[in-house]
Chain A
């Protein structure tokens, strides 16, 4: 195990040596092949090996991971911490339920309508709050999230939102060729969540590597300098904010399709902090970390939640990971592997 990691990473880190003997570098095709194998194996294997209960936990973990992905992207690229992710996540689900039951829309129509409303809300909110400094942004997202979760509980909206009871979603017909029973089946839903998480991860990874990502990171480092240099610092951040909320809304819609139920707790602060914890645990740099963090959180919550320790653990994890392991699990393993590869190369040469 030890040897293998060393040799493969060392070979991968020296593309020039390979390229000079055997044509073009093998690094890209090898990476692509490896990614494809992980994708296919991850899509197929769990349905065969894991029971329904494990799959359900894994599904929850993937959805939380998608949400964590959105928070981590904004943290990593723009230096902005959003504490109101749950209001988008739960809000999208709740709107879907309302569109189905109150506005009598078809499932696909309700899906599109709720998605659009959330995107418009995120755009308006983002237009207001992304121009503030990062600390104020954090406070404002917390306040906006609390506003939504209080708004849902208003007495006057009870007929719409179900108040503290939440809403049950039973849709007839199909969405993208899948029926309610398909979404409720853990094994079938795993495929949907897996593909969704991959798409979200790849999309945000691509944005992070694009010009937009570069501008976001530069603004994060020094906004004034970017403004001096003639860059618009407002629009890129707004676009990033809307983009991550699109990912959060998709996760929320997938969640309500899977659970068939939306509760007011899914809009609450504890979901937002859980998301933050998942992102910090996995590591905010890159797309793999937050999703792994979501999975870890989901299984850890199953272990400790019955003893009422989830919230306490949430607090401890936030503190410990920021102070001691700021790179998170995936980031930490990644840098450890690179370090080992570098040491191994020095020994061989």
Chain B
């Protein structure tokens, strides 16, 4: 059995909430994504299969709409609106990301939704919430990353270079994750109360509380922070943690050793690799083994502590200059040091660990007549596994089925009419 089996979801197609529908559908909910007659805007987003810009070949659409059924319904029009309301009578959840006021102006205000349908959980994802001072602002993924505080802390030590928006639609994904958590919380509560409710999610608010120390350094102590290359922001410029290896790829050296045991680990790793003789600061690594816990409050004050602390970071940088990124990552981790390799997404996808974890899931892709590998489960459930039930729907693929199930013979005709 799937965790969300039997949960019927109506999703009004929008790039801001596509991930919410995917998370639901891949865990077993019956998600019906409702598109306008011209198709969802995301169908025109690349990349495209075979680089052919075609609404049935958008890989963004394919990714974000797995396991869903799809229908075409012009829900803003009178008859289409009636059909949507009829569908919602049999639904548990409505997920949408229309601009504030759009649903109400088409006769789908709160009274018509959660008011008339008391079991319905209505999740509304908007850039700035439904009614705040900036609720009518225009926003994209880029502008949300900027207003939400993420861009300010991503970038380079060189501040003549701009702050950076990490690619991947994270301005939408962050809000979608909170939206999904919220609707699951409401579903659990409904099991007891029998009642649904309206949930508002602000994408800007979501980004704002997803910046770790960039927010709480200010909240707690009004400490401003600045962006730094490939590592955490901070109030001062910190030592680098990202290094280029001999093959031109990068590694991340993580949090440096702090305990005597960790110094023993790094020293043993250096000796095993024969790097200890060449590394000029091996003596400080040896001294580090004598400290049960290095007193980091004395870094910069006590010369010996500072030298020991710096030596560990220097050691990792030194090692990265002597081997490939793969060698560094594998050998340091096997020695017990938490470090990372900066993989491109496809390199991660092909890595033996992710493959062994089932992170490649193959489905037959009708548009291509061949199997396609998709990214796998974000979580491994023992009893109610995540799965891909189907590829993303073609435009209007299930319109007839969905209307027939709801007893609607044609858009606009209510059941029993």
Q: Do the two chains belong together in a single complex? A: no
